[in-house]
Structure formats: C-alpha cells, structure tokens
Structure 1
Amino acid sequence: MLPKYIQNPKIKNALLAFCSRKYTLFSSPMAATEECLRKTLTEKVAAVEAQGNAVRALKAGGAAKSEIDSAIETLNSLKLEKAAAERSLLGGSDSREAFRQAVVNTLERRLFYIPSFKIYRGVAGLFDYGPPGCAVKSNVLAFWRQHFVLEENMLEVDCPCVTPEIVLKASGHVDKFTDLMVKDVKSGTCYRADHLLKDFCNDKLQRDLALPADKVAELKHVLATLDDLSAEELGAKIKEYGIVAPETKNALSEPYPFNLMFQTSIGPSGLSPGFMRPETAQGIFVNFKDLYYYNGNKLPFAAAQIGQAFRNEISPRQGLLRVREFTLAEIEHFVDPQDKSHPKYPEVADLQFLMFPREEQMSGQSAKVVRLRDAVSKGIVNNETLGYFIGRVYLFLTSLGIDKDRLRFRQHLANEMAHYAADCWDAEIECSYGWIECVGIADRSAYDLRAHSDKSGVPLVAHEKFSEPKEVEKLVITPVKKELGLAFKGNQRMVVEALEAMPEKEALDMKAALESKGEVEFQVCTLGKNVTIKKNMVTIQKEKKKEHQRVFTPSVIEPSFGIGRIIYCLFEHTFYTRPSKAGDEQLNVFRFPSLIAPIKCTVFPLVQNQKYEEVAKQISKSLTAVGISHKIDTTGTSIGKRYARTDELGVPFAVTVDSTSSVTIRERDSKDQVRVDVDKAASVIREVTDGQRTWEDVWSTFPHHSSASADD
C-alpha cells in the first residue's frame, strides 16, 4: 500500500516520474516497492545460506558448544527475518496460502476460471476458462505466435489429439511415461509417491529451524536425487520418514508405476488402440519428412504447434498448475548436429537474467544473474541455438508481465536428463507454490527422429550435397541384438537405444575397454542402473568411404510452453490490492500489460444522460473499427465503483464521457487522467495499447484532469 502522503498530486507525480526512469520494467510505484522487497528477501536468503555454512563449519571444526549454540541462535533469527520478508512480499499476508487464496477467490469470482462440471461437484484437475480467462489465454497465444512463429518464420501445424499406439510406442511413452503411485491402504486414495516425499523434505527444511546440519544435508540430497530413486528406494524412504496419507494418516502401499496417458480405441471394432496425446511434439516429428520438403530441403527450420495435451495425473493439485487437460505450445527446431550456431544469437547474447546451472544446485548455492553470452562461451549452455531460445523465452515471459526477479532458468541435473539429451533448461517462475517449471528448453539430440525412423521404416533424415565426392570416416556402432536379447531379455531395446545414442568419445572409450578387458560397465539411464556389456554384444569401428552427400539425422532444440502454468503465474505476479476511497476496504487490481489484458478499455458515461450515452456509442464504434476490445458500462453505479470493477478485471484504460466535446482517459495503476477530444479518444487508446506510445507520452501531451471521483 502506498503511504497517504503520496496521494498529494505533486509528490505522486514526482514519484511516478522517478519510477518511470528507475523502474522501467514496472507499471506502477507499487511494483517498485515490490522490487525493493524482492531485493531484501534475496539478501535474507543469502544471509541464511552463509550463516548455515558457518554453523556447519564450526561443527566440522570441533568448535566450543557455546560458540556453536550462538551461531545457531543467529541462524534461527535470520530465518525468522527471511520469513518476515516473504510475508511482506506477499502484501502483508500471514502466509503464502492467504495471498494465494485472495488471488484465486478473485479469479473465480470474476470468472477468469472455474472448476469444470461445477454443478456436479467437479472433477479434480479439470478447469473451465470464463470470458476474461479466455481473453487472456487468447492474447497470450496470439503474442506467442507473433514472438515465435512469425518472427522466426516457423512452420505451424495442427495435429490430432488422438494418437495411434504405435506412434507413442516408438517415442517411448507407452513404456516409460509413468509416475510411481502409492495408495492409502484403507481408503484406496492414490497419491504420487515422489510428491509425498518431496513435500515432506521441503516442509521439514522450512519449518524445523533446529534441524542438525547432517539431517539438512540428507534431506537436500534426497530432493536433488529424487528422480533417480527406484520404486524400492522410494518406498524405503517413505517408510523411513514415517510418511502417511495426508488426509487420513493411514499407512501407504508400496510404490508402483502408473502410466499417465488416457487410453482409447480408434474405430468401432476396438482393435486399433490409441491414446490422448501427452504432448504435441510427436505430431511434428512424424511429419518431419514433409515439412523438410516444404522448406525446400533446407536446414535449419522450426515447426510449431499449439494444442491440447492430456495427462491422467495421479493426484492433481495446485489449481491450474497441475491439470489433466492443458494447452501446450511447442517448437521443434531442426538443426545440423555439426553446426548449432544461430544467426540471430547476437541479438540476445547480452541479456542478463537469473540462471541456475547444475553445479550451483549441487553445491547448495542460489541462482545468480548471468550474461547469456558468458554462459554459452563457458559451455554452461551447450550451444548457440539453445542459448538463443533461452534468450527469446526470457523476452517472451517478461513482455507478458512476469517479474524478471521471480524468473530463473534452471539447468537439469544429470539424473533428470534423458540419456540422449545434450542439455536441458527449465524456465521456472516463482509464485505462492514456490518455483514452478513453465517452459522446458531442451537439446534432444537426434533421438526422436531416429526412434520414429526405426519403428516406421521411413528414413527421417536430411541431406548435405557435396560439390565433389569426399572420403569420410564414420563411426559405426552396431549392437548385436541376439546377444543383447539373451543377456537382457525384456530390457534389450533400452540397452540397444542407449548404445546407439552414445557420443563418439564414449563409444571409442568403450571400444578400448572392450578390447583390453573384454567387458565394461555401461549406464542405461532408462533402466536406472549400470549393465555389463561384453565384447560379443557390440561392434564399434570407424569406416572410410567416398560419399557424394552427407545423410544425417537432424538434432532437435525443443522449447515447450505450459500455457496454463504461465497464465496462473502471470495472475499472481500482476495481482495487488489498494485502499478504497473511503479507506474501509482493499480493492483488488490485476496489473496486466495492455498486451494481454482481457479488455483493453472501458467506456463510461459519467451519469445516465442520453447525450453522453450517444457519445459513448460513438467512441465504442471507433474502438471496434481499430480492433480494440472494450466494454460500455451505462449502469447508474458511481464512477468510482465502475473503475474498481474494471481494475479487478485488469482493464488498463477507462474513457469517461462527461461532455459532448471531450472525454477523460484514465490509466489503471496511477489512476491519472488526461482530457482528450472525442474524435481522438479511440486513436489514443489504440496507440497506447499497441505500444506505439507510452502512457508517459500521453500524460505529457494532453491536459491533465483531476477529479475526486477518480481517486477510488
């Protein structure tokens, strides 16, 4: 809340001018205040980490008990200060939950979204978007198309949601797209096992201030290696920590795999099995050959798709963040594996933002601001094209209104990476639920196209023609499937895939080890363990031959956007409250940028007057003609209440008709108003909502208008 003295117009305007210079990424002085609170919280987090390290060092060094106790007392005080800073950042709420509930209540009451099938008590993990929610989603997707499809000249496709089993068998989803599930042994309620363990560890770390250093390290190690745990190891941890069913406190079953895809059948016979797609990417991969031809048989090129995806979540929670049907926007950028440079990389290379490489995660450090150019040149980010898309994702999210200080790019740990991936980063956004993965940006190597080539028998390859024949040396990895089948039986295919996907250096090291020792230990990520490969199971050799062209399987850089998750985080990042004119209640405001606001403008006759209503209709017609979404409110409600209603919908501008020759235009966050001729109102609104001019420019161009009723 802004102090009362800021309501003085002179002080308020001076502060606005200051903020427009100092905090150019924010739309109001309150956002600048949030920035200060965010910096304070960052300092407190760093202090807690430093003091925690100091306590551990004292214990390791055998310091006196009094010295250790004093250091622990300081650590606990710093943790309390950190918690207070978090509460301040959430608008003075007692907890993240209270802030979240205020946001969710507003969203549901104003029909941004509601539980699906509400009159039948709903279904967990399914939600309907109401009118303003649909508009926000539509605007986000329109900007996504502008920012990626149009600016990058991508090929957009639209593939069916129903997918034949053979396609998802080839991609690995039928066998591997599973989560480990546990059941309440009495009620039968199902839970995702890793989520229960993750929640237990996080809760223990956050709430138990006196936790010994060795226990803190143990819990952090469990969190870091969670994706590596087998069903048996996960079950053992759940028993060790005494984790029970959250609602009933009953015992839990042993973890067992559950495939997350919705199964169906295609056609009336039921003999053609299929699934509702869990992602949109496979539709692009199976169309690669035709898309490559459409692009003139040239690389690189990118294909994009927006569509629904379906995952039968075990225990949906966190509102829009974990649902069973959702919208994905995915890009598959096909590139020569020998040249992953990008011609537009210099345009983003100097961007600086929070990055969280795996080394910092494993050593317990925090994310730090890094220049993208440095991350790529040091090899932290694998290649230029991957770096380019990380930069473009950053620009996309911050343009939508995501707070840059609550956005970070986290590199996947080794245990999270698929065996075929060269590198993978998640754009994570912080909200009241913590850090949420909203965009994945991965270098998937050539795995997907190879998998579909093998299964379908259709080569999904690219060609580079030589001006004259070349003698080339190629590394050929030939798994002996008969011997592998005898040794690994049902796991044969996963071992074969892992061998074929080996990088050249690893393959040559294996060849040397097999020749000297006769066998070698080999990690198969999809099995989650090492296997013993013997000399008779694989042939690795280099062959020389003359070729007129190079035939290769392209690598794929894949940015994948969870649109619902981005939108929910956007709701939280743009929500704030301010006092009513009377000061007896807090009014809700969504600080949406004009780019994604559900309604760009409202038109209000000041009072119910025929002449004013005619002017309002005239302005409405002009706004429609220039494509500006708007709403007329001719109710007899006070102008202050009408402003408050539209502020709660995030409408950035309001036109108030109080004469037949000129009107006022009000900006939502500053509540400042300017007076504009009736025939210029629509063009001014169009220019400022389209980004052709700023509100500061409008404020300096037109006469200012002050009205007590404007100060809600």
Structure 2
Amino acid sequence: MSSQKLVELAKRRGYFLQASGAYGGVSGFYTFGPQGAALKGNVEDAWRDRFAVKEGNQEIDAPTIMPEPVFEASGHLDTFDDMLVECAECGATHRADHLIEDNTELEDAEAIPISEVEALIAEHDLACPACGAALAGESVEEFNLMFGTNIGPGDSAPGYLRPETAQGIFVEFPQLKEYARNQLPFGVTQIGKAYRNEISPRKSVIRTREFTQAELELFIDPEEDEPDLARVEDVEVTLYPVPQQQDDDGEPITTTIGAAVEDGTIASAWIGYYLGIAQRWYDRVGIDMDRFRFRQHLPGELAHYSVDCWDAESELDGDWVELTGFAYRSDYDLSKHGEYSDEDFTIFKQYDEPKTVERATVDPDMSYLGPEFGGAAGEIADALEALAERDRSAFEGDEVSVEIDGETYTIPVEKTGFAVEEVTEAGEHITPHVVEPSFGIDRVLYTILAHSYREDEVDGEERTYLELSPEVAPTFVGVFPLMDKEGLGELAEEVATDLREAGLSVAYDDSGAIGRRYRRQDEVGTPFCVTVDYEALEDGTVTVRERDSTEQVRVELDDLVETLTALRSGELSFGELA
C-alpha cells in the first residue's frame, strides 16, 4: 500500500486533509475530518484507559503557551534545535540530516555533528531538492524549533508555544505532589497539542508543526521504587539495541521484557515495564506487530535531559517511523525548575526510624562580610552554605574561597561560623527521578490506518477496506433500510436511534444500492452493518454483516443492542454469533 493511496482515501473519506486549503494550504498543519477526529478521540480514550486509569495516574490539562523562563530552565532555548541548510541559488531551506538520510544509506543523521554533516553533503554531492543547485560548501546552522509569541499587550512578556506537553506537568510539580499526598511513586498524564516549527514537514501527519502528544510523567524515588515487572516479564518484544545498530551485520533481536531487563539489554526496569505495557496497547489498537520494534537511542541521539531512551518504531512504506519515546529523564527537569524558580521541587522522604547524622553548617559574620564585600555579601553567605554541604574539607584551613559569577572571594574561616554538629533527622528532601513514555497520537493514527488498509475482491468487484479494531473505529455500525418505503425507512431510523442511545457510533445511509453502501462503510473501516429488510417487518430480525469476512447473520431486533455492544467490547466474536 502506497502512502499516496492512503492520503487520497484519508481526504476522500474525511480522515485528514491539509489545513486552510481554500488559501493554498499551510505546510505542516492538518485538519482531521469527521472520521479522523472520531478515530483520534477513540485512540486517545484507549490511551487514557491504559496509561491513566488502569495505572492509577492523575491527568491534567496545562496551557499550550508558557512564559520564556520555563523554557530557559528546561534547556529548550539552548538545545532544541534542528540542522538547517539554505540553498544559495533559490533560498529554499532544508533539514540537512533529512537530505543525508534520503540520499545515502546513513540512518539517524540527526545524531551526527554539524561538521560531519557538512562534509557528507559535499562528499555525496547533495543538491537542493527545490532547484537542483549544489549544496556543497553551504554552512549548516542550528535552528530553534519553538514558536515564539508575546504574552499580553504593550511591554509584554515573551512566551513560546510548548514543544512538548511535559513542561506543563513539571512546572506544576509543587502542587501536584500535594494532590499525590507527597507519596512516591505517582504519575501524571496529559493529552494535548504541542508545536514545533519544523524546517521541512513531510509525510502528511507523520511530521507536522502542530500535533497531539499523550505523555506520562512518572515520579519515582530511584533508590526504592521498582515496577511490578511480573506483569509484563513474559511479553515478547523485538528490540534493536545500540550494539546491534553499530554492528554492520547487526539485526534486531526477539526476546521477552523479563529477559531483556535481566541481561541488561534494557538498563532500567521502569523502561522495560512501560515497553511491555505499550507493546500490548499497540496491538490492542491495531498496529501490526510484524512491522513494529523498539529501538534504543544511539549516544549522539539522546536528548539533553535523557539518560536512556528507546523508541517504539513502526514500518511504513519501507521506513521505520518513531511513534513513542520512552525516556529515563533522571532528576534533570525538577532540578532545573527548582534552580530557576522560587518553588520547592523536592519531596520529603521520611525515614523508617530517625537518624543521627553529622551536619556541616555556617553562620557567617555579616558584620564582617558586609563592610568587606558590599553588595556581594549575601551571595557569598549563600555560596558558603552550599560549599559546607558538599565539601566540608574546604573549611579545614585558615581561609576558604568561593566563586561567584567568575570572581573569587576569600574569607577567613573564623568569620564563616563553620561548625559540624550532630542532628537527629526524621527524613530528607529528595528530588524525584522521572520516567516518561511520550506518544505521538497523530503518528499512531496514521500507522493504524496504514496497517489496516486492505484490498480484495468481493462478488467480482475490487474492494478497499480498513480493518480497524472495533474499539477505535470512528463508526461502529452502519444502519441501512433495504429501501426507503413501506415502513422500512421508519424502522431503520428507530434502530439507528436505539443504537445511538446505547452509546454506539452509527452511520445511517439510505442512498444507492445496498452493495455500494456496504463499500462506503468498508472503506472507512466500519466493523458492522445492519440492514433492515422486509423480513424485519415480518419476523423482527435484521441482517448483521461483518466487514472483514462480509458474512451475514440474522439477529432479533430485541437482541440487537445487546449483541452489538458485546461485539464492540470483545465479549462476543462474530464467529460465535454466526
């Protein structure tokens, strides 16, 4: 199945289309039509059920615009960049790593340093895709992907559209920990829009400038908290670890989550746990497990906050596309926000029994520091306190030195009030570590459509259909009167109303031949169709047709709602019904 066929079907049947088409369209922005919005909502509900409800996690909904200091603390202002190369002839800009990946056998070029990227462009004589001019010798620059804006009128504050939903969770941690009663571990989820000013959006909804993320941030005590790995240890997975990627003949390996964690292929038990949970979820929503794997990030790919990361990848048109990132973010995010803000991003960890410990303290003589150092006295006092906590040996001599903004200050130890005291502590403040599964919902949606696309022949005619899971299919059942006369239309309308009131998504169609109506519903992936014919008026039964096999059975009208509800929940299979 070509991507062109899928994109054409998606537009024709209301799954997705390029936004603002009346004005020529805008690259990197897509509108989800009636079918696409419903499919997207069902996928989000399935994700929420698995990663929020069943895991016992909280869910929040944070703003999509946040002030500049948030992203200064998170590191996005300095490190959230892609490699940009501009054509000197036509002025078109391109992602340099994409040019290399598209025109050479190299993969994951974003992990390569800029100097090597420039050399590869020259070595392979890469040309501008827009005009054909040579790009050798053109500089590759870093381009920050965040959309900037201003918050408020006049002398307004700079802000940015969030490039990930995660920061909306991290900045609210001081309050979220209160909701969790200061007990670790606890998880917070969020489903929402994120924005990245991509240099070269491509592959329809695979790489866009506005997209939906579903993220879970799990806050843990790294010394004590462990996942219940027994729940997923037998889940079979295909892994592509770093050594296999770096080996010229390396291939992905098939193993179980339990074995991969035990032998160290997956270093973090928490990452392993979520790979197992996600494997089952992807299978549940309709991803083809024969075209699915987990790939470990190479060292050069790791984000600035990530200690280890694995991507869930799916094969599409011969390429492997990232669907989800599973990252161990350590304490980077909370530590940074604690450093840059005035809030406390720690949790108090109570000991089982009080402990007596030695604590180094300082009580600087401000009557000396003030006259001696003027306005720097307060910062010197803070620096002395921090130094005493991390290196008490620095106070063993007659003098101690601290550095502030590149300037060194030397203070007599006797003026610092340095002392080592025994204190009894009930606990300590720790900065939790973070484990993060981050899902790209738009990419999941596209993959579900691509992996469910089928072509066959029915009654001598070619048929296209989407083999969508009943749980995520945008329309669950089509209802048709055989003809719109002699009471069939009225009865079919009543059937459709009853099914809608039972919570089922229904498409009513009385236009054209019954075979054409079946084909329309097959093409949008509707799992079942109900036909109200003359027998319905005589014996109170209707025809229920299954999409994949096209088989039909008669069902009592009085049992129809219960039967279809059981089919949707999986309590009943169509084979059992037949």
Under a length normalisation based on structure 2, what TM-score does the superposition of the two structures give?
A: 0.86
Alpha-carbon deviation of 1:383? Answer: 2.5
Within-5 A mapping of 1:586-601 = 586-601=462-477
The AA in structure 2 aligned to 1:311 is: R
Deviations along 1:559-609, one digit per CA (max 9) or x if unpaired, are: 0000001111111000011124234xx321000010010100011111222
1:566 is matched with which residue: 441, 444, 451?
A: 444
Alignment of structure 1 residues 133-532 onto 2, 5 Å: 133-202=36-105, 220=106, 223=107, 226-252=109-135, 253-343=138-228, 345-364=229-248, 365-418=250-303, 420-432=305-317, 434-471=319-356
Find the residue that maps to 1:444 and give its secondary structure: strand
Q: Which moved more, 1:412-421 or 1:560-569?
A: 412-421
Q: Which one of 489, 501, 510 corresponds to residue 625 of structure 1?
A: 501
Question: Which of 114, 124, 127 is 2:30 aligned to?
Answer: 127
Q: 1:556 to 1:473 in 2, by over 3 A?
A: farther
Provide the secondary structure at the position in 1 that maps to 2:41.
Answer: helix
Q: CA deviation at 1:231?
A: 2.5
What SS does the aligned partner of 2:294 have?
strand
Instruction: Tell me the distance in 2 between the aligned counterparts of 1:155 and 1:686.
Output: 29
Equivalent-residue separation in structure 2 for 1:187 and 1:351 (angstroms)? 52
Match for residue 479 of structure 2 among 589, 598, 603: 603
Judged with a 3 Å threshold, the aligned counterparts in structure 2 of structure 1 residues 630 and 347 are, in CA distance, closer, same or farther, namely same
Structure-2 residue corresponding to 1:670? 549
Q: Residue 377 of structure 1: CA displacement?
A: 0.9
Does structure 1 conserve the Cα–Cα contact (< 8 Å) formed by 2:305 and 2:333?
no
> In the alignment, residue 315 of structure 1 is paired with which amino acid?
S
What TM-score do you get using the length of structure 1 for normalisation? 0.70
- Relative distance call for 1:397 and 1:228 in structure 2 (3 A) is closer
Counterpart CA distance in 2 for 1:613 and 1:227 is 59
Conservation of the 8 A alpha-carbon contact between 2:79 and 2:304 = no
CA contact (8 A) 2:478 2:530 kept: yes
Distance 1:247 1:615, change over 3 A: same
Three-state SS of the structure 2 residue aligned to 1:248 is coil
Q: Distance in 1 between matches of 2:176 and 2:156?
A: 31
Does structure 1 retain, via aligned residues, the 8 Å contact 2:455–2:464?
Answer: yes
- Aligned-residue offset at 1:474: 11
2:529 counterpart residue number: 654
Whole-angstrom distance in 1 between the partners of 2:305 and 2:211: 27
Determine if contact 2:245/2:251 at 8 Å carries over to the other structure: yes
After the TM superposition, which residues 96-111 of structure 1 pair with which residues of structure 2 at under 5 Å, given as runs?
Answer: 99-111=2-14
Report runs of 4+ in structure 1 exceeding 6 Å deviation.
472-475
SS in 1 for 2:182: coil
After TM superposition, give the deviation of residue 473 of structure 1 in Å: 9.1
Following superposition, the deviation at residue 373 of structure 1 comes to: 0.2
Query: Which amino acid is the alignment partner of residue 332 of structure 1?
Result: E
The alpha-carbon deviation at position 228 of structure 1 amounts to 4.2
5+ unaligned residues in a row in structure 2: which ranges?
361-385, 392-419
Which residue among 642, 649, 660 is the counterpart of 2:517?
Answer: 642
Specify the code of the residue in structure 2 equivalent to 1:281. A
Letter of the 1:129 counterpart: F
1:378-432 superposed Cα distances (whole Å, 9 cap, x missing partner) = 1221222221111111111110000111110111112222465332110001111
Change (3 A) 1:570 1:473: farther
Question: Which segment is superposed worse, 422-431 or 574-583?
Answer: 574-583
Say which of 558, 562, 576 aligns to 1:683: 562
**Partner AA of 1:292 in structure 2:** K
Supply the AA of the counterpart residue of 1:201: T
CA drift of 1:657 comes to 1.0
The AA in structure 2 aligned to 1:110 is R
- My pick for the range that moved more, 609-618 or 325-334, is 609-618
Deviates more, 1:418-427 or 1:398-407: 418-427
- Measure the CA separation in 2 of the matches of 1:282 and 1:429: 27
User: Given residue 211 of structure 2, which amino acid in structure 1 is its aligned partner?
Assistant: F
Higher mean alpha-carbon deviation, 641-650 vs 378-387, is at 378-387
- When the two chains are superposed, the root-mean-square deviation of aligned CA atoms in Å is 2.2
Question: How far is 1:233 from its partner?
Answer: 2.4
Counterpart of 1:349 in structure 2: which amino acid? E
- C-alpha separation between the residues in 1 aligned to 2:217 and 2:286? 25
Q: Which residue of 2 aligns with 1:549?
A: 427
Which stretch shows the higher mean deviation, 364-373 or 641-650?
364-373
Q: Distance in 1 between matches of 2:62 and 2:178?
A: 18
Deviations, residues 462-507 of structure 1 (Å, cap 9, x unaligned): 12112433256999xxxxxxxxxxxxxxxxxxxxxxxx9xxxxxx9
- RCO higher in structure (CA 8 A, sep ≥6): 2
1:578 corresponds in structure 2 to: 456
**How far did 1:270 drift?**
4.3
Partner amino acid, structure 1, of 2:81: T
The alignment of Structure 1 onto Structure 2 pairs a total of residues equal to 516
Contact 1:353 1:404 in 2 (8 A): no
CA shift in 2, pair 1:277/1:270, >3 Å: farther
Does the C-alpha gap of structure 1 residues 474 and 553 become closer, same or farther in structure 2, counting only changes over 3 Å? farther
- Measured after TM superposition, the shift of residue 192 of structure 1 is 0.5
Checking the alignment, whether the CA contact within 8 Å between 1:386 and 1:443 is kept in structure 2 is yes
CA distance in 2, matches of 1:275, 1:553: 27
